[in-house]
Amino acid sequence: MGQLQMNNEQFYKDLIQKTMDEVSQEIINIKATTKPISPDNAIGRLSRMEALNEKSINEASQRNLEMRLLLLNQALKRLKDGEFGECLICEEDISEKRLKVMPEATQCISCASRTS
């Protein structure tokens, strides 16, 4: 795993698992706030529109969180395989500063800014 020291493996394992717990909790929170929208007319047309809007925003963030969970899972696998922290594009080491904020990152900062 490049310049990453072996004792960092446990650090990133803990970090990824902690992040996965947080993301799972956020998904639970979003699911709890996404109430089914009543077709009841008493709710009024405008507030029904607002409710629908809010519902689609919540559903979008839920999808993003689920995607992040998937990426974190893959990061955990790369950690086991000794590939963690390597840029998939240029094969350079991803900076630790970046990995600490985004352990699921698969590209170094320069590749990520080129492709996005």
Supply the minimum distance, in Å, between the C-beta of residue 113 and Zn ion. 10
The conformation of residue 41, written as its DSSP 8-state character, comes to G
Specify which residues 86 forms β-bridges with: 93
Task: Report, in Å, the least distance between residue 104 CB and Zn ion.
Answer: 15
Evaluate the CA torsion angle 70, 75, 80, 83 in order and state its sign: positive
Name which of 10 and 110 has its Cβ closer to Zn ion. 110
Residue 16 or 111 having the CB closest to Zn ion: 111
Instruction: Output the smallest distance, CB 114 to Zn ion, in A.
Output: 8
Phi, psi of 93 (to 5 degrees): -75, 135
The nearer residue to Zn ion, 69 or 102, going by C-beta atoms, is 102
Please give the Cα distance from 66 to 22 (Å, whole number): 12
Residues near Zn ion (CB under 5 A)? 87, 89-90, 108, 111
Q: Read off the tokens for 35.
A: 């109430």
